């Protein structure tokens, strides 16, 4: 059994709202609204579960929204271990119009106390010996030290468990230095980390190389609708997807990382896993809300994704 553990320290209830247009100082009408359990690790677990992988999500929950979060997870049938905490689970709101323009409003989340974090880590340690991969993704809640992901990467390495890192802020460089198996920043996250803009393909490749030099074994740098670049021990890759219908880009990057793991666990080479990942992210970005698509849709998209060495 190849088990993937996903850890989400700052989960959320994601509210996805669709409207015909996003304008300011004028009235717009909601055409649809849905709520889903979310946070990067929850999104990854959702995708892996749909693809038939053995996955278990670990997350804290608290307050009225925490109860809503737990109920939504139960409906999704994702295997999950929830740890009750004092603080309220946060809510994120994404408003997307017919042209694909998205306005995203995220709460920062409630503080996580040291004893609560210790309970979460203890539960994680129970499960690590059975795992192949651990995803450490999303923002850290207030009160959690920036070195937490670096610490957890080291624990995973002690058990021979591969790690996916997808975070931002002060936690990112510290976690990179710990040597994650795969880092998956998007362009804005990479730009903030490096302190410069990444306009061109050459900029993106150089940025990914620099991030890998910080400690990650492999780096996949997401470029949104323009695809992604990857750097690894075997070289440098560029993936370009076809132009697709506009949907909601929310969660597409989480799909990319999860499907890369899924493909590697299937025995795919890294270049082919990269192609699968970009195809899956492209399908997800063309769908409304947090609809991530399925394997059949991604299978059709995969040959249309151009991957070449750079």
Distances from the Cα of 127 to the Cα of 10, 50, 51, 140, angstroms: 20, 21, 21, 21
Residue 98: phi and psi, rounded to 5, are -65, -20
> Do residues 67 and 100 lie in contact, with contact meaning Cβ atoms separated by under 8 Å?
no
16 with 36: CB under 8 angstroms? yes
Catalytic residue chosen out of the listed positions 14, 97, 166, 254: 254
How far apart CA 308 and CA 310 sit, in angstroms, is 7
Beta pairing class for 12-19 and 3-7? unpaired
Which residues sit opposite 90 in a β-bridge?
12
β pairing state of 235-240 and 306-309 = antiparallel
If DSSP codes are grouped into helix, strand and coil, which group holds residue 271? helix
Catalytic (active site) residue 26: no
For residue 268, give the DSSP letter.
-
What is the torsional sign of CA 24, 29, 35, 41? negative
DSSP 8-state assignment for residue 167: -
Q: Where are the beta strands (DSSP E) in 181-259?
A: 182-183, 218-222, 228-232, 235-240
User: Scanning the structure block, which residue is given the tokens 């649809």?
Assistant: 32
Which residues, in sequence order, are bridge partners of residue 61? 84
Identify the helix (H) or strand (E) that includes residue 132. strand 131-137
Question: Which residues are tagged catalytic?
Answer: 254
């Amino acid at each position: 059994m190849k088990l993937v553990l996903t850890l989400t320290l700052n989960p959320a209830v994601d509210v996805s709202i669709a409207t015909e247009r996003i304008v300011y100082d004028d009235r717009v009408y909601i055409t649809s609204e849905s709520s889903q359990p979310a946070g990067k690790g929850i999104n990854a677990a959702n995708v892996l579960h749909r693809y038939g992988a053995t996955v278990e999500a670990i997350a804290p929950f608290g307050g009225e929204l925490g109860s809503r979060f737990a109920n939504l997870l139960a409906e999704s049938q994702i295997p999950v271990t929830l740890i009750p905490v004092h603080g309220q689970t946060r809510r994120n709101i994404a408003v997307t119009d017919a042209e694909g323009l998205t306005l995203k409003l995220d709460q920062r989340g409630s503080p996580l106390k040291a004893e609560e974090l210790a309970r979460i880590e203890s539960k994680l340690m129970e499960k690590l010996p059975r795992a192949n991969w651990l995803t450490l993704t999303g923002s850290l809640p207030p009160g959690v030290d920036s070195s937490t992901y670096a610490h957890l990467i080291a624990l995973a390495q002690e058990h021979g468990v591969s790690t996916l890192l997808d975070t931002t802020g002060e936690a990112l460089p510290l976690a990179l230095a710990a040597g994650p198996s795969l880092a998956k920043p998007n362009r804005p996250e990479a730009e903030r980390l490096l302190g410069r803009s990444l306009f061109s393909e050459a900029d993106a490749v150089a940025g990914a190389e620099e991030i890998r030099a910080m400690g990650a074994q492999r780096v996949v740098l997401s470029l949104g609708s323009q695809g992604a670049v990857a750097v690894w021990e075997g070289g440098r890759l560029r993936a370009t997807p076809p132009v697709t219908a506009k949907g909601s880009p929310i969660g597409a990057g989480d799909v990319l990382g999860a499907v890369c793991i899924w493909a590697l666990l299937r025995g795919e080479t890294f270049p082919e896993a990269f192609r699968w990942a970009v195809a899956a992210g492209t399908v997800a970005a063309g769908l409304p809300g947090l609809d991530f698509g399925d394997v059949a849709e991604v299978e059709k998209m995969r040959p249309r994704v151009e991957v070449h060495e750079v």
